[in-house]
Amino acid sequence: MKTAFFSTQSYDRDYFSRFNTRHELVFFEAPLNEKTVSLANGCQAVCVFVNDQLNEAVISQLAALGIQLIAMRCAGYNNVNLAAAQLHNIKVVRVPAYSPYAVAEHAVALILTLNRKTHKAYNRVREGNFSLEKLTGFDLHGKTVGVIGTGKIGQVFCDIMKGFGCRVLAFDLIANKELQAKGIEYLPLVQLLPQCDIISLHCPLTEQTRHIINSDTLGLMKPGVMLVNTSRGALIDTRSVIHALKSGQLRYLGIDVYEQEEKLFFHNLSEEIIEDDDIMRLMSFPNVLITSHQGFFTDEALIEIAKTTLQNITDAEEGKTLVNKIV
């Protein structure tokens, strides 16, 4: 099946080319949107990532080009208009689980870096500055950690934090009995937030979770809390978080995703003027750590993404049951 890949990076070409044995893959650096959809002409499938735009207009144009399959090379699909895909009889598949360890471990890396300020210490020593001033951290052992969302990634994160000797509280629509057996306590969000020293987001982006972190929920948190987001940028209301950082309500922020990341992340903008005032304000805080959506970025995860996506495409071509089908 001839497949057009959008938002392609060098590692996408490397991993997909390594494991591809039968499909014709066409790689484009451009993201998929209404201006670039014509690049898929002559293909039967498109392979897209988290910041590609698959709204009603794009899907209508894909259908007109004869596209039969939208293959997401990620777990999230909030950027796809599923109703439009169903209307045009275009199947949508995804990679539901590539490596929960990759994202969970990255969340822990953000916590440790913010806490022990290893990024600042590294830069100091490189400049010959061996002072410990302003590098004070805190013991993770004994702290209370709140986990919002206990799917596969959230479960791994809970296990890691329990290993640090933390008290772990969780919020989800359905409590995980295995986690409860390990001592994870499920609470309503309004009861969880005031108790936590660290809060980590591991839930999907839905209409119910959009801006789950806002001025109201930030106000419920313990002053001086650490907030970490490795899930979806729009779980956080950026302006409210900036205000909480300025007031001191939020003492640490670590994010691997950003609400307006589409035009920023995965690109080298070091020689350009960044016009996004919100992210520039966030970058100005000494207690904010931002990485550009690299939580998934391990060898194991990239291998699984390539293999699963290619198998999804093969199954669609052969008319087999699509085990990772969304619609």
Alpha-carbon distance 77 to 51, whole Å? 10
Digit-coded pLDDT (tens) for 165-219: 999 999 999 999 999 999 999 999 999 999 999 999 999 999 999 999 999 999 9
The pLDDT of residue 82 is 97
Catalytic residue annotation: 232, 261
**pTM score, whole prediction:** 0.94
Q: Is the pLDDT of residue 35 over 90?
A: yes
pLDDT level of residue 312 (50, 70, 90 thresholds):
very high
Q: Fold for domain 3-98+299-317?
A: Rossmann fold (3.40.50)
Give DSSP secondary structure letters for 59-103.
Answer: HHHHHHTT--EEEESSS--TTB-HHHHHHTT-EEE--S-S-HHHH
Residue at 105: amino acid letter:
E
Residue 97 confidence (pLDDT) above 90: no
Taking CA atoms, 82 is separated from 54, 87, 209, 314, 317, in Å, by 9, 8, 18, 21, 20
What's the mean pLDDT in 90-101?
95
Predicted pLDDT at 195 = 98
> Which one, of 19, 31, 81, lies nearest residue 55 by Cα?
81
Model confidence band, residue 65 (pLDDT cutoffs 50, 70, 90): very high
Provide the percentage of residues in the chain whose pLDDT is more than 90. Answer: 99
What pLDDT score was predicted for residue 181? 98
Say if residues 157 and 108 touch (Cβ distance below 8 Å): yes
Q: So where are the chain's domains?
A: 3-98+299-317, 100-290
Question: Average pLDDT in the 17-38 region?
Answer: 97
Confidence (pLDDT) at 45 = 98
Q: What is the pLDDT of residues 111-157, one digit of tens each?
A: 999 999 999 999 999 999 999 999 999 999 999 999 999 999 999 99
pLDDT at 63 over 90: yes
CATH superfamily of 100-290: NAD(P)-binding Rossmann-like Domain (3.40.50.720)
* Mean pLDDT over each residue of the chain, to the nearest integer: 97
Q: Does 69 score more than 90 pLDDT?
A: yes
pLDDT digits (tens, 9 = 90+) for 176-189: 999 999 999 999 99
| Residue 125: C-alpha distances to residues 118, 130, 214, 283 (Å) | 10, 6, 38, 22
Beta strands in 256-291 (DSSP E): 288-290
Long-range contacts made by residues 76-83, C-beta under 8 angstroms, separation at least 24? 76/50, 76/204, 76/205, 76/232, 77/326, 78/204, 78/205, 78/206, 78/232, 79/50, 79/51, 79/52, 79/53, 79/54, 80/54, 80/326, 81/54, 81/55, 81/56, 82/326, 82/327, 83/56
